Structures are given as C-alpha cells and as structure tokens.
Structure 1
Amino acid sequence: MISRYLTDLTSLFFPRTCAGCDTPLVYGEKLICTSCWYHLPFTLLHNGTDNLSTGQCASFFSFLDSSRVQRIIYQLKYRNRPEIGSFLGEKYGILLCEIPPFNEADVIVPVPLHPIKLRKRGYNQSAFFALGLSHSMQKPLAERCLVRHRATPSQTTKNRYQRHENMEAAFRLNEAEAPVGKHVLLVDDVLTTGATLEACSTVLLMGGATQVNAVTIAKAL
C-alpha cells in the first residue's frame, strides 16, 4: 500500500505518459494506456501465414501513418525508450509460445544496426524487442549472430525494388555465433517490403540455419 502511494506521489510530479497517446498513465498501467492497448490494430498474423522467402512471418500490429502504432514505434526508436521494445516483445512472446512454427525456434536473432547508427541511437530497438521475446518464450538470444557491415541509405523513400537492391550484401554472419543446425526466429521492428528480412534470412540459411521464421512489431499496410 505504501509503495502505491509513493508511486502515485512520484507520478504527480513526474507523470509517466502513454507511448501511444501521451496521456498520463494511471496506477497499474505500464508504457501503454488501457485505451490505446484496446484500440491497437492486432494483426493475428501468427495464426496464419505471410509468405516471404524467410518462411512464415508474424507481426504484432498493423502500421498506419499517424496512428497509435506509428507513435509507439517513434517513441521506441527516436525518443530513447528501448523499454517499449522489451515490453512489446514480452507481450507478443506470450502469444507466440502457443503457435508453431514460432514456438519451435531454437534461437532468437535480432536484425542488427550498423555500428555508426548504433552509436548514434545508443541501442538497437529490434534487439530490445527480441529480448522481450526471449524472456517470455524462454528461448536464447543471439544478439551478435548477424553483423551489419555496410551502412545503407534510409529505406523510407525507396520503392520495393530499390529496397531489395539497397539491402543486398548489407549483412554477414558472425562465425562465432553461426546458427548451424538451428531453427532461427529472426526479429525486426517494422516489416515493409521484407527486403531486410530476406537479406538476413539468406545469410542465416547459408550459414547453416535449418529454418528461418520472422517476427516484427508491426507490418506496414
């Protein structure tokens, strides 16, 4: 009871706000308010298939411009709130624990950032999402399995062909963590054309992975 009063008092002077709508959170809410969570566009893709060359791919939410999901992703990537990634990973992992082929993975591998971007941002948002998945799914995390050795221009203004061309040869395998004989769950933040996931999947399969499935926080429509 005392801890609740202390929390309420702290919130009065340093209000915690929702990542989706920026309204103050109430007691018991964490990072995303109840109203936003209720209205988030869950995809349910984990119950079906989304056929990329990576195999089955699932996304937690649908991504639309000027939406709650866009604001949440923006807070995660550009407002120094990596805890949002791990929070969403834990939530989605609870669902994926019951769904093959995702619950059959041996190891979770996040899509890496280039070292320059990593130093600038301070963290890899996909790695935090992967960390949350790892906790709730009880799967090991291999954060250094993939290396992004070529800095690529922003994908935002590129068409589908340009995005795939942009990602070619951008990744390589860290031989010390090669997933030989393992089923890999590949993790990224937002799925657009699938160019990044396909590039990473190719490297993983050539490096000895037996299967690659993918999970993202959101999928662009």
Structure 2
Amino acid sequence: MQLFKDIFYLFFPDVCLSCNQQLSKNENTICTICRHDFPLANFTNQIDNPIEKKFYGRVPIESASALFIFHKKGKVQQLIHQLKYKNQQEIGTLIGNWLGEELKSSNRFKNIDYIIPVPLHPKKKKLRGYNQLTKFGVTLAKVLNSEYIDNKLIKTYSSETQTKKGIVARWNNVNEQFKIKNEDYFNNKHILLIDDVITTGATLESCANQLLKSKNIKISLALMAFTE
C-alpha cells in the first residue's frame, strides 16, 4: 500500500495551494515557505485592535481577531480564492486549526458557546456547492470545544458581490438581508461570528444586529483575513 502511495505521489504530487510548488511528503495544503511568509495579523491578544475599532459605535463586540492581513494579489488572496472558488476546502480546516489554537490560548475568547458563519443564500450555496466557511467553522468549534450552527442565521435574499462597492453601497446592499430564525435560541450565549475577509464590516454588522435580537447575548468575531 505504501509503495502504491509513493508511486502515485511521484506522478501526481500534491502542490501548495498558495504558490503551486510541489509539497514535500511532510507538508500539507501549503508549503513551509509560504506558511512562514504569510502576513499574520497578530490581533488575538490585542485589545482595541483594528477590527474592534471598526465596529465602535456600530455594534457591541466582545473581542475580534483575524489570522492574516489581506493584500491584493498577495498569498492570502490566492489562498482564499482557492477556498472560495476552487473547492479546496482543506484550506478552511488549515486556517481553522491555525486560528483556533490562537484563540484557545487567549483569555479574550473564553467560553464560546456557538460558532455561527455568515450565511450564503441557498441559491448561491447550491451554485457553488458549499459554504467556504463550513470547514473553517467546524474546525474552530472542535478546537474551542463549542458547537457549530449554520441553520439559525439565514440569508433571506441574494445580492451582487460586495467586492467593488463603497461603504455606503455595501451597507445599503446588506441591510435587512439576514434573519435570525429563533430569537430566544441564543439568549445568554457567547457567539463567535465568522467570515472569510473583512473590509468595511457591513455584512458582519448586519448579521450581528440580527443576533443581538436575542437577550443578554455576547458576540465575538473570528475572520480568516483583515483588509487594511
């Protein structure tokens, strides 16, 4: 069996999903060079970090963090593109483990009850075939000993991509797009709301406002990447 695997690897080697170079046998998903070359945000233990400041006066956030800093045409963009559009869902698991261990070791992300992803509209999920946040969220839940729930916060209608919109247009586009099914379900709970890349924060704000309809709820944020 091992001989067969070695022969298969010889003709069909795994490649790094960031730089496309061949992986060695002890590497997984991304190569060691890329892993050390990614721009890390280092926000997890930083009070009043740039993500938290972004939501001042908008919605109350307990704590927020991201694993990477996002730069256009950079390694992080390439990695997340592979996750979102090329069905390379092992990237979500990789980032979930990486960020999860950071959050687990921090006093700022204790007692997380539920992990909630920013939802996709059912039509978009059917077209893509998956939510790029699922593996990320499931992995975070395992590391943080919490529960992943993806059927309580829903997206009520589809919309155009947010990528090229300004802050006002983004807010108008996402406001009232989301709905919480059972407002009492999250009463007295600490929610970790997750997304891939944060820019203006309009989508997360809209989701948080829905979750805040529950009583005595706390909301923290965990993102794959933060756009400066």
Q: TM above 0.5, one fold?
A: yes
Question: Hey, what does 2:77 align to over in structure 1?
Answer: 70
* Aligned-residue CA RMSD (Å): 1.6
Cα gap change, 1:54 to 1:29, in 2 (>3 Å): farther
Equivalences, count: 219
1:217 aligns with 2:215: no
For residues 216 and 75 of structure 2, what CA distance do their matches in structure 1 show?
A: 36
Contact kept in structure 2, 1:147 and 1:172, CA below 8 Å: yes
- Secondary structure, aligned partner of 1:101: helix
- The percentage of aligned residue pairs carrying the same residue is 33
For residues 90 and 83 of structure 2, what CA distance do their matches in structure 1 show?
A: 8
Q: Which runs of 4+ in 1 moved over 6 A?
A: none
Q: CA deviation at 1:7?
A: 3.7
- Secondary structure, aligned partner of 2:133: helix
1:138 aligns with 2:145: yes
Q: CA deviation at 1:101?
A: 2.8
Contact kept in structure 2, 1:173 and 1:207, CA below 8 Å: no
Cα gap change, 1:72 to 1:177, in 2 (>3 Å): farther
For residues 125 and 63 of structure 1, what CA distance do their matches in structure 2 show?
A: 17
Question: Hey, what does 2:209 align to over in structure 1?
Answer: 202
The 5 Å alignment of 1:42-57 reads 42-48=40-46, 49=49, 50-51=51-52, 52=55, 53-55=59-61, 56-57=63-64
For normalisation by structure 1, the TM-score amounts to 0.93
Contact kept in structure 1, 2:66 and 2:99, CA below 8 Å: no
The 5 Å alignment of 1:51-130 reads 51=52, 52=55, 53-55=59-61, 56-130=63-137
Contact kept in structure 1, 2:114 and 2:148, CA below 8 Å: yes
- Secondary structure, aligned partner of 2:13: coil
Q: CA deviation at 1:111?
A: 0.8
Question: Hey, what does 2:161 align to over in structure 1?
Answer: 154
Question: Hey, what does 1:187 align to over in structure 2?
Answer: 194
Question: Hey, what does 1:166 align to over in structure 2?
Answer: 173
Deviates more, 1:102-111 or 1:165-174: 102-111
Residue 22 of structure 2 aligns with an amino acid whose one-letter code is: P
1:13 aligns with 2:11: yes
For residues 171 and 135 of structure 2, what CA distance do their matches in structure 1 show?
A: 25
Deviates more, 1:83-92 or 1:50-59: 50-59
Long gaps (5+) in structure 2: none
For residues 209 and 29 of structure 1, what CA distance do their matches in structure 2 show?
A: 44
For normalisation by structure 2, the TM-score amounts to 0.91
Cα gap change, 1:61 to 1:177, in 2 (>3 Å): farther
- Secondary structure, aligned partner of 1:157: coil
- Secondary structure, aligned partner of 1:118: helix
Question: Hey, what does 1:25 align to over in structure 2?
Answer: 23
Contact kept in structure 1, 2:112 and 2:144, CA below 8 Å: no
- Secondary structure, aligned partner of 2:107: coil
